[in-house]
Structure 1
Amino acid sequence: MQQIISTDEVRFLMQGLIDLIYKNIGDIQRGRFNVEIKPDGSPVTQSDFLVESLVKKYIEEKLPSITFVGEENFSELTTTTPEGYYAILDPIDGTENFCSGLKEWGISFTLWYGHDHLGSLLFLPELGEHLMTGDKLTPIRSRIRGFSSSMCDEILEGMRSTQESRLMGCAVYNLYNVIRGSFARFTNPQGAYSWDLLPGLMLAREHNCDIEVEGKPYHGEFLEPGKKYRVDIRHRYDLHTR
């Protein structure tokens, strides 16, 4: 039976991923304005493919038997049932921000063994911020409610009823900030894919946030790639890990 790597080993693996991105940040930044439009109307840059290729090679060298799912290589033929080591990556989340020259974009990564979560990472390279499994946070008190940028009536109503609200256009940024308390709440009523959400949801659980997925309490279930999930996360200052 294959021995599962420890949390410390997972953290070392994810720190290596961070180092890899910083080592190649010049090439990543140079590709940000080389943009194509996907069939769904969203942008993709040369750097999305570069980051995915770099991380895939790095992870497969460390864990040769792994199933690797990246946003840009996903297809209907991709195995969506986690068996053995299984990694999901969003190489550049917030691509619209990235290709517009904004710094609010990020990389999300999560590693599983079967249905057991091993570790997750939210990483904002140009902001110099990251959060990974096992990190400690000093909780922040905020009254800001963050929303996804996919506009709909529910978001408009939420903004009307909230004293302070933000639309930042990057799930990694939104999830990172609700986990640490810079947002009191983050809502995505239109839904996003597991590569957008799963790493942040697992870190939100670790830091005792209240989480709903598809209107039901979330208890750390694996979210299948290729499907969209609606989420609502509330920061719990009173239960935050110190």
Structure 2
Amino acid sequence: MSGLAGQDWQRDLDLISQAARKAGEVALAYFRQSPEVWWKNEGRSPVSAADLAANEMLAELLRSARPSYGWLSEETDDDLARLACETLFVVDPIDGTRGFLQGLENWCVSVAVVRGGRPVAGVLFAPALGELYTAVAGGAALKNGEPIHVSGPAGEDTHRLAVSEEMLAGCEPDFRERVTRVKHVPSLAYRLAMVADGRLEGTLVKRNSHDWDLAAADLILERAGGTLSDLEGKPLTYNRAEVVHGELCGAAPVHHKALLRQLAHRRDS
């Protein structure tokens, strides 16, 4: 990340922060208003009029401002020409659409700038909560302008986790006894933000998350002192031909290795 931090990405962060706010305002106008809904991925994933309107706003603002950047969004047909772009926007206009449609407030607009496979600027805007998370390569992670940090070693023997019952059931009994599961948060990006600001020690992520779910939150968690990795402990690479990821672990450092051990136990048992 040091080479990436050598370039000033603050202007891009300012740009995507403004765009995320405007897209959030667009989405908020549909919130709890029963927007029209369609189903994609063979009926497994909802997309609403709010998603499409927010996506249109983001595309208009960002692509006109940085025409040389590539584009990857959940709500735009993928153009593999992005693979030739060293820098691109990675966007989810509403991360947590299911929760949004249920009237839950913890959904967010997720926007990242990715350079050379890693995020260098990232924004999560949760308009229903009035929360703006930002981070830039080499800088601090901020929530509404104030620095945030992952939880420290004081809670090392207990774990407040966002994890499914299925994933937890495969972990060791002693570990399960020390886990407090939080109520399900439909937005993966927002769950990672909760790790970044210390409300959670970690989250175990099922397979089939996508670049747009992760890129902005990955950088925010990193700059808050945490780690998002695959099961081998390796950081994620973005803007590949395949944008789907396997099981992942996002956590504060003191908990990360312990969580990886539990994931390994699940595979071996």
TM-score over 0.5 (shorter chain): yes
Q: In the alignment, residue 148 of structure 2 is paired with which amino acid?
A: L
Deviation at 1:111, TM superposition (A): 0.5
Counterpart residue number, 1:163: 179
Q: In the alignment, residue 60 of structure 2 is paired with which amino acid?
A: K
Q: Label 1:105 to 1:32 Cα distance change in 2 as closer, same or farther (>3 A).
A: farther
CA RMSD, Structure 1 to Structure 2 (Å) = 2.8
Matches within 5 A, 1:4-23: 6-23=8-25
Q: In the alignment, residue 190 of structure 2 is paired with which amino acid?
A: Y
Gaps of 5+ in 2: 1-5, 256-269
Q: Percent identity?
A: 17
Per the normalisation by structure 2, the TM-score is 0.74
Question: Which whole-Å CA distance do the structure 2 matches of 1:115 and 1:87 have between them?
Answer: 11
From 243, 253, 258, the equivalent of 1:226 is 243
Matches within 5 A, 1:75-154: 75=78, 77-81=79-83, 83-115=85-117, 117-133=119-135, 134=139, 135=142, 136-140=147-151, 143-147=159-163, 153-154=166-167
Deviation at 1:109, TM superposition (A): 1.1
Q: Does the CA contact (< 8 Å) of 2:17 and 2:123 recur in 1?
A: no
Ranges of 4+ aligned residues in structure 1 off by more than 6 Å: none
Q: In the alignment, residue 169 of structure 2 is paired with which amino acid?
A: L
Question: Which whole-Å CA distance do the structure 2 matches of 1:26 and 1:234 have between them?
Answer: 30
Question: Which whole-Å CA distance do the structure 1 matches of 2:203 and 2:236 have between them?
Answer: 18
Q: Label 1:237 to 1:171 Cα distance change in 2 as closer, same or farther (>3 A).
A: same
Q: Label 1:54 to 1:31 Cα distance change in 2 as closer, same or farther (>3 A).
A: farther
SS in 2 for 1:61: helix
Gaps of 5+ in 1: none
Counterpart residue number, 2:76: 73
Per the normalisation by structure 1, the TM-score is 0.82
Kindly indicate whether residue 35 of structure 2 is the aligned counterpart of residue 33 of structure 1.
yes
SS in 1 for 2:199: coil
Instruction: Give the aligned length.
Output: 230
Question: Which whole-Å CA distance do the structure 2 matches of 1:185 and 1:106 have between them?
Answer: 19
Counterpart residue number, 2:261: none
